Structure 1
Amino acid sequence: MARTPSAPSSDRFPPQIPYIIGNEACERFSFYGMRNILTVFLIDYLLRNAVPDEGARSAQAKSLMHLFMAGVYFCPLLGGYLADRWFGKYKVILWLSLVYCLGHACLAIFENNATGFYTGLVLISLGSGGIKPCVSAMVGDQFTAENKHLVKKVFAIFYWTINFGSFFASLTIPLTLKHLGPAVAFGIPGVLMFLATLIFWGGRKYYVVVPPTGPNPHSFLKVVGSALRHRGQGGHWLDGATREHPAEAVEGAKAVLRVSGLLLPTIPFFWMLFDQKASTWVIQARAMDPHVGPVTFQPSQMQFVNPALVMILIPLLVGVVYPAFQKAGWELTPLRRMPIGLAVGALSYAIAGYFQVVMDQGTVLNISWQLLPYVVLTLAEILVSTTGLEFAYTQAPREMKGIIQSLWLLTTTLANVAVAIASALNVFSGAGQFFFYGGLALLAAGAMAFMARHYQVHDYYQQDVGGSVPDRAQPPPLADSSKAL
């Protein structure tokens, strides 16, 4: 049975919300604190003696970094499944948070031991990835029909908190690595994750705990399996599944195929660009002049630009740019924003590639030049990531929204696996890698624009059979899926 606290005022947040928000702030600081220094740590510390050549060492560090990120975005499939089907969100978040803490402890303790350190990365992948789909969904679980109007506001706060944690982690932890060493630099995020776990546990008496649903007899995979057993029924190949499943489930499976057919071949090329700001762009920054006036920046610190810009650019785009295009008669629909975003992302890599060409010719550029490609890449992130998650969420009925969210996260996994393999093979170096990935993103932009012309938009919203608002408010997609989910 779900525990239901006393009904709060319809104009006040439920008392458990501060616990979830506080947990998210500390958890995001812990994750971005350790992730943003990972590439530099691998190059300058863990791999230094094992791989003497710096070029080969940088390539291996990139590969390991992106394998780790692939794990982080694959484990939500496991965490979401365990929460929805068997244990519920609260237990999965609490248990995997403890695994998460243990992973941080391994990083701090085994700074000179590759086996111990990599074990820590595996545990963090399991913990961080496993709780990703659960925390944001649990926020929505805390609201009822009486206070559903507060959901958008709380998610705005939730999203701002994510970027707040990322911003300060990006500024402070690289300096900690430089001046106090790896044990402290990885230890501080570990302490923050332990604090996040305590804060979450502290709200246990207040949470609305939605029980797990158990196995779904009409899941996407079961509908597909049924359709394959009953082929040749005419019309769409999934129609044969109507022998064993309701028409709504079959239509939902068709929606999943429509969305995945558009996103899976294209969106991974954006994540190939975006996630390399923590690897390839950091390596480029290492070769730049770090002095900006009286301030000396660490290469990993430049990642603070992204969350700072996100908090500025989203209100500007949503409040000014999108309405201006709509008034001009050319609305920036999701199917227009995403291809444009891919092309803008390609532009950011063209700029960074040009900088690399200049540097390869012997010119030392100041690290402040990286601000320009960061601005362009962040604009691309908002156009692709923000829009894409919302688009995927609205294009599937309620019963299939979970599989759609899983497919969205899978695009990030595929991207990081591809970059990890390319980095391990060390196929590209110097400016060539920037132009290669930028070129792939530009091709993906063209392909998505072409496919979008033939895509039939069908929005699904959270309503029951009678069309009324459901008793339990459902969480809207978060504005920054790369950070929030």
Structure 2
Amino acid sequence: MTQPPVRDKTFFGHPRGLATLFGTEMWERFSYYGMRSILVLFLSAPAIRGGMGLSETTAVGVYGVYIASVYLLALVGGWMADRLFGPRKTILYGAIVIMCGHLSLSIPIGGAAVWLGLVLVALGSGMLKPNIAALVGELYRHEDDARRDSGYTVFYLGINLGAFVGILAVPWLQEGDRWHLAFGAAAVGMAVGLAQYVLGRRHLGGVGEEPDHRLTPAERRRFRAILAISLPSVAAALALWALTGTFTIDRFSLVLAIATAAVPVIYFVFLFNGSHEITPQERTRLSAYVWLFIGAAVFWLIYDQSGSALTLFAQNNTQLDVMGFHVPPGWINNVNSLAIIFLAPVFADVFLKAGDRVSAPLKFAVALLLVGLSFVVMSVASGIAAGGIRVSIMWLISVYLIQTIGELFLSPAGLSVTNKLAPRAFGNQMMGVWYLAISLGDAIGGQTYRLTRVVPMPAYYLGLALAAIVAGIALMMFARRIRALMGEGESQPAELTG
């Protein structure tokens, strides 16, 4: 008797390994977004309420640098996977470090534990995020772009499902100034994600087990020498700065923001001029990627102010009592997560059917126009609030809905195009480069909030809105030329010109 063919289990029609990565990222995002939803409120709360007692502008600056560091260190995490451990081990180590960071935040012993916790969460996130996204792409290495885009959109659904539950649970636990209990919930979430990853790694097959380009013995010696010099040098510089009496958290966040902005410039110069492992064709594609990178940075500059400027607006200027129920300020961030949970499958299906007819540059352009429109709405809302009126919660809900649609155009496409255009020798690092665009936007966005000391809030929001709209129009005008550089057109021009 003939046995029926054995069919491999799938996950919503996708490889079974996607379920492992989906679940791990979901719980990591639970911990990350849950903690992030209360971070600015905790930093700016007075000490009598258990907070850090920072001014709002300093708290937003610290928040911006912290978020930027999470994504900046993704470049380091990608390098570690490419050269040292391989993606799978780097993800494992990153999850452990993240959990330790949240545990440090949950200990109510003062400022030192808070700063240590933020450092550990940023470092661990940098190790985990680019590599888990790269492994998703590896599951579709031999499949078409539309199917890979669809897989990334399903993966993105997991991100936002975790974010939704985290933003629901952590701010609720924080009510009554129970900050450290809330941070502890984030640690538990990461522990669940870590366990899920360990138990589900067998479904990944042989993907990501070894580094693609392990360091040679000579390169290892050089790497150790660099660490032996650079780490003590940085520590000594910080100690000397502290001894001068001019060190402040505000100034330190500004220095870190400037350093963050310099990193992408240095890294792209290296990719174009310093690495002989990249072919001429790969460099041509990278030149297209630079334009998409800039557009993404502008998008995230505005979008990621949801956890800082918009959360403070919710706390200080929004009517949060709805039908007799008080809405915690952090909960409004969940409009984005909830909308993506419902809209992501729709967009995945639409983009799958559209195939290559809707290009990545066009998706980026639409996203920029939408995020710009969202801050036009914020400009109007803040103008109303300037009169001392608490505005309806519907203003913020509409802002988040507009931004969510923009995010669905840009973020899955950004992950996919990064995987597609990455030089083979820098596959995991290029996922770090994608997150570097987020880092650049967050670093600048955290510092632009300083302008609110001298610029009215309506003008602040409107100025950022116009910058995004101009960038979106520019990308739309040059979309065909960028596609040619990506190798999707009939020719591949050497440069992008008007």
**TM-score class normalised by the smaller sequence:** 0.7 to 0.9
Does the 8 Å contact 2:75/2:430 carry over to 1? no
Aligned counterpart for 1:432 among listed residues 442, 459, 463: 459
Aligned to 2:213: 214
Aligned to 1:202: 199
Report how many aligned residue pairs link the two structures: 426
Aligned to 1:381: 407
Does the 8 Å contact 1:79/1:134 carry over to 2? yes
Structure 2, unaligned stretches of length 5 or more?
217-266, 489-498
Does the 8 Å contact 1:43/1:57 carry over to 2? yes
Aligned to 1:356: 382
Aligned to 1:254: 284
Distance in 1 between the 2:177 and 2:71 partners? 30
TM-score normalized with structure 1 length: 0.77
Larger mean Cα displacement after TM superposition, 401-410 or 269-278: 401-410
Question: Does 2:472 align with 1:445?
Answer: yes
Code of the residue aligned with 1:108 in structure 2: it is S
Distance in 1 between the 2:282 and 2:43 partners? 44
Aligned to 2:163: 166
Aligned counterpart for 1:276 among listed residues 288, 301, 305: 305
Code of the residue aligned with 1:121 in structure 2: it is L
Does the 8 Å contact 1:89/1:138 carry over to 2? yes
Q: Spell out the pairing of 1:149-188 with structure 2 (5 A cutoff).
A: 157-179=154-176, 181-188=178-185
Distance verdict in 2 for CA 1:443–1:145, change over 3 Å? closer
Distance in 2 between the 1:44 and 1:435 partners? 28
Code of the residue aligned with 1:38 in structure 2: it is L
SS at match of 1:109: coil
Distance in 2 between the 1:339 and 1:20 partners? 29
Question: Does 2:41 align with 1:40?
Answer: yes
Aligned to 2:363: 337
TM-score normalized with structure 2 length: 0.75
Distance in 1 between the 2:415 and 2:203 partners? 30
Does the 8 Å contact 2:32/2:186 carry over to 1? yes
Question: Does 2:393 align with 1:367?
Answer: yes
Aligned to 2:130: 133
Distance in 1 between the 2:440 and 2:477 partners? 22
Give 1:365 shift.
1.4
SS at match of 1:341: helix
Aligned to 2:295: 266
Per-residue deviation, residues 414-445 of structure 1 (Å, max 9, x unmatched): 11111222235645452222112112212222
Q: Spell out the pairing of 1:10-29 with structure 2 (5 A cutoff).
A: 10-12=8-10, 19-29=20-30
Structure 1, unaligned stretches of length 5 or more?
1-6, 228-243, 462-485
Aligned to 1:233: none
Give 1:62 shift.
0.8
Distance in 1 between the 2:215 and 2:132 partners? 22
Aligned to 1:478: none
Instruction: Give % identity.
Output: 25
Does the 8 Å contact 1:270/1:441 carry over to 2? yes
Distance in 1 between the 2:470 and 2:427 partners? 28
Distance verdict in 2 for CA 1:129–1:350, change over 3 Å? same
Distance in 1 between the 2:129 and 2:479 partners? 29
Aligned to 2:322: 292
Larger mean Cα displacement after TM superposition, 37-46 or 300-309: 37-46
Over the aligned positions, Cα root-mean-square deviation in angstroms equals 3.7
User: Which structure dedicates a bigger proportion of its chain to helix?
Assistant: 2
Aligned to 1:475: none
Question: Does 2:392 align with 1:394?
Answer: no
Distance verdict in 2 for CA 1:249–1:400, change over 3 Å? farther
Question: Does 2:95 align with 1:120?
Answer: no
Does the 8 Å contact 1:252/1:400 carry over to 2? no
Distance in 2 between the 1:356 and 1:197 partners? 41
Give 1:28 shift.
1.4
Does the 8 Å contact 1:306/1:374 carry over to 2? yes
Distance in 2 between the 1:320 and 1:140 partners? 20
Distance in 2 between the 1:164 and 1:108 partners? 23
Give 1:171 shift.
1.7
Does the 8 Å contact 1:11/1:150 carry over to 2? no
Per-residue deviation, residues 367-408 of structure 1 (Å, max 9, x unmatched): 233111111111121223233333444345645554543332
Aligned to 1:301: 331
